[in-house]
Amino acid sequence: MSEEKTSQIKFIDREMRKIEVDIGGFNVMFPLNPIPDQVYEEMANAVDMDGTSEDPLRDLYESTLMKPTVSSLSAYGIFPINSAKKIVRLTLTDETIEETIHELEGEELALQGRPFSETIDERIELYQRTLVDDAKIDRFRLGAVEMFGDRTYRNILKDPRVTLNICWHRDDARTALSYQLNCVAEIVPPGDPFFRYMRLMRRLFSSRLLDLRETKDYVCAYKFWICETTDKSLSEKAGFMPDQ
């Protein structure tokens, strides 16, 4: 891409839970907050961790949990908001990724050349094993890869403030569960261990190669650092009784 970045993360202070960002030459401080517990637990158990699902891969494909709408600010056009669907995943800490990325890539590479249907159990097992240790998961961010480098990417280059709207249903709940996550997006270039991790997590359950146009690879990865969270779930008011 030919655009120059006009936004940059200056520093992240986990202890003070602050993140400072240069947006167009102005330093702006944002709070840093963890993934909401309900969202975290749902994502951590999204791929049949207990073995009760008859078709865990279909459950993953049909679930909207990890397919949020990502809204970014645009300096062009009459309407200033651009929205796009992205596939997000929980991320390991940077230290853990650096220690394990070669091993993870080796295991994923060993699955290539065989029919996808024959490797589903191994893919699920690899996903489970990667995220089984809560202590190795970064609770302050989600991750994604950018496929084409279109509007979302160009907008984040200018202004990294984005909103993720996550919405899903649970079989045991008669409510539509939803959270708004206001985030600062950090762009991670190809070759970085985090980019390689997110590329692997994206490809792990892809049964076919995606058309990535002339790039032949993903443009970048995103670290969605969570600043604010709002519960947007649709639930009945306490004491409300429907008409009989």
Task: Walk along the chain (244 residues) in steps of 10 and give the mean pLDDT of each run.
Answer: 69 96 94 97 79 73 93 89 96 98 96 91 94 96 94 95 94 80 97 97 79 68 98 68 46
Note the Cα 189 to chain centre separation in Å: 16
Indicate the angle between helix axes 94-109 and 193-203, nearest 10 degrees. 50
Question: Can you tell me the distance from the alpha carbon of 97 to that of 89, in angstroms, rounded to the nearest whole number?
Answer: 14
Question: Can you tell me the distance from the alpha carbon of 30 to that of 19, in angstroms, rounded to the nearest whole number?
Answer: 5
Q: Is the alpha carbon torsion for 201, 204, 210, 216 positive or negative?
A: positive
What's the angle, vertex CA 139, arms to CA 137 and CA 27, rounded to 5? 125
User: Cβ distance 222 to 187 under 8 Å?
Assistant: yes
| 144 strand-pairing partners | 222
User: What letters, b where the CB count within 10 A reaches 16 and e where it falls short, cover 103-135?
Assistant: ebeebbeebeeeeeeebbeebbebbeebbeeee
Residue with structure tokens 């993903």?
Answer: 218
Q: Kindly state the DSSP code that residue 82 receives in the 8-state scheme.
A: E
User: What 3-state class would DSSP assign to 171?
Assistant: coil
Q: CB 197: neighbour CB atoms within 10 A?
A: 26
| Residue 32: φ, ψ to 5° | -125, 125
Question: Can you tell me the distance from the alpha carbon of 217 to that of 2, in angstroms, rounded to the nearest whole number?
Answer: 17
Pairing of strands 89-92, 137-146: antiparallel
Q: Kindly state the DSSP code that residue 164 receives in the 8-state scheme.
A: E
